[in-house]
Structure 1
């Protein structure tokens, strides 16, 4: 897809004559990154719509031309609130958007609202990478966010499934989750996450625990490497790879010019994250 400003694209789409569309002919955006909608806020918006109507039309598209079925490009909160308010028709502008444009509009509209959960935001970036084949650098340019910022969110996808659920529910904060990802031994994340929630650990307290565990892990790894007669050069390489990948690495030397590198992953999401760091696409 050619480079373009999705903001301009939506702005252009919102200009023009609107029409009233039956709400039962409208479906949510299939590329919607938001998993949960705040019920209280939707009810507040529904009350406002009952009183004053909808000031800004929804932007819709017809996935199949000529068939009266529509998908939301922008305005899903207004659509959901209109249903709560009992509206049978909503004002909308119909535009010819491709799947790529629709996906990008859904992701960016939600990102600009800045109330996605950290995990939803991470998954939004990942959807742009996987489905639109954008690099982190391209996402950074389009959204006006730094590449390290985006990379930090993408790392959240490497968390164990249960820890992701705890992050999504708010039991863990973004700061706590990022600190947990600093563990050299990724198998320790789940146990430490449970302790964090149980004991109400602050990010600072958690950082101290992670640092202590990493020191022990480094000491243990060094001892193992000594037993395996690994050279200081190989040990340092392993540590640098681990820092780069956020995953445990092991270099096995078979001869002076032959060997292999092993990188551990904890889940398929963690593997996807590692492949992204390596700039490897399976498409």
Structure 2
């Protein structure tokens, strides 16, 4: 039940952790629940933080603001087991970095109890809600929760307050070529561009066209539809379909006649492997196929 309560709070963001501070920039953080000030050197960055990019200009702007007004919202941390006066940042690493630039000796913190999984959830939720993460950092965070803690995409969507399709589409960005990912990380192309590039034949070439010609997302989607309409190009990924040789077509025909169902063979050129697809039109045909494959039993 405790874990369920923590997950419910996640949907409301980090405000739930620090006592519903609100959006008032004039709020005095020291009056918040469970807040205190500690030397800045007591804090350590979280190695699992999904956010990896900290723009120099943004840090300098925030540092200037901190010099003038201090840190308005405290940094959320957890204690490090076995270490005294040491805390790992869960949310607020950018504020911590900017505070160092501003020359602060102490920073306001809120200490929460969180294991590795919950700490990563908090970090992702805060960054996603603030739109601080780029799309690839968001995808990497989702991927780590799935890989390390066994989340399904549906469970992850519930935790972070996003739709399952958003989670799935974001994770797919990690399949793009590295050069395209680099353009996305640097801001040369948008997340919308990147999602549209998943459907084109050559994402790298298309990404170059986006940068050179200033194509918008609709232009890239149109390119993908045009490729699908070209005979001999694949609908997904745009890979050309290889022509089948006479032996492969003859084997398809023989298997189709034997099974009474349409059989297609997708053999990879110059490779010993491939796949066989058998199409059925009803549950009765599927049952017949299963009996045939099991030797009539």
State whether TM-score is above 0.5. Answer: yes
TM-score range, shorter chain: 0.7 to 0.9
- The aligned runs of 1:20-99 (5 Å cut-off) are 20-99=37-116
Match of 1:152 in 2: 169
Q: 1:234 to 1:176 in 2, by over 3 A?
A: farther
Superposition deviation, residue 60 in structure 1: 1.7
- The aligned runs of 1:1-283 (5 Å cut-off) are 2-3=3-4, 4-7=7-10, 10-11=14-15, 13-15=17-19, 16-183=33-200, 188-214=202-228, 215=230, 216-218=232-234, 221=241, 223-224=243-244, 228-229=248-249, 230=252, 233-234=262-263, 251-252=275-276
Distance 2:16 2:188 in 1: 41
Match of 1:246 in 2: none
Match of 2:283 in 1: none
Deviations 1:136-171 (A, max 9, x none): 101111222211111111110111111111111122
Match of 2:108, SS?
strand
RMSD value, Cα: 3.2
Contact 1:28/1:71 (CA < 8 Å) preserved in 2?
yes
Match of 1:266 in 2: none
Superposition deviation, residue 112 in structure 1: 0.8
Deviations 1:65-87 (A, max 9, x none): 45222111222222122111100
Match of 2:269 in 1: none
Q: Which has the higher relative contact order, 1 or 2, with Cα contacts under 8 A spaced 6 or more apart? A: 1
Q: 1:81 to 1:190 in 2, by over 3 A?
A: same
Query: 5+ unaligned residues in a row in structure 2: which ranges?
Result: 20-32, 254-260, 267-272, 279-288
Distance 2:190 2:182 in 1: 11
More helix as a share of residues: 1
Number of corresponding residues: 243
Deviations 1:18-54 (A, max 9, x none): 3321112211122211121233333332222222222
Contact 2:9/2:16 (CA < 8 Å) preserved in 1?
no
Query: Which region of structure 1 is more displaced relative to structure 2, 29-38 or 200-209?
Result: 200-209
**TM-score, normalisation: structure 1:** 0.73
Query: 5+ unaligned residues in a row in structure 1: which ranges?
Result: 239-248, 259-283
